[in-house]
Amino acid sequence: MNITATLFVQALSFALLIWFAAKFIWPPLANAIEERNRRISDGLAAAEKGKAALVEAERKGDAEVKAARERASTMLGETEKRAAQIIEEARDAAKAEADRMIAGAREQIASELAKAKTELREQVASLAVAGAEKILQREVDARAHAEMLGKLKAQL
Partner 1 sequence: MAAQELHTPSDYISHHLHNLTVKVGEGGFWSLNMDTIVMSWILGIVGLGLIWMVAKGATTGVPGRLQSFVEMFFEFVDSTVRDVFPGSRALLGPMALTIFTWVFLMNLMDLLPLDWVAGAAGLVGLHAWKPVPSTDLNATFAMSFSVLILVIFFSFKAKGAGGFVHELFTAPFGSNPILWPFNFALNLIELLAKPVSLGMRLFGNMYAGELIFMLLGLLASIASFSAGGLLAGVAATALTWAWAVFHILIILLQAFIFMVLSVVYIAMAHEHH
Contact residues for 132 (Cβ-Cβ < 8 A; gap 6+): 140
Site track for partner 1 across 35-54, x = CB under 8 A: xx--x---------------
Q: Whats the size of the chain, residue-wise?
A: 156
Is 22 a binding residue for partner 1 by CB under 8 A? The answer is yes
Q: Which of residues 3, 135, 136, 154 is near partner 1 by CB under 8 A? A: 3
What's the burial of 129, exposed, middle or buried (CB within 10 Å: 0-12/13-18/19+)?
A: middle
Question: Would you say 30 or 110 has its CB closer to partner 1?
Answer: 30
Is 28 a binding residue for partner 1 by CB under 8 A? The answer is yes
Helix (H, G, I), strand (E, B) or coil at 125: helix
Q: Which spans of this chain sit near partner 1 (rule: CB under 8 A)?
A: 1-11, 13-15, 17-18, 20-22, 24-26, 28-30, 32-33, 35-36, 39
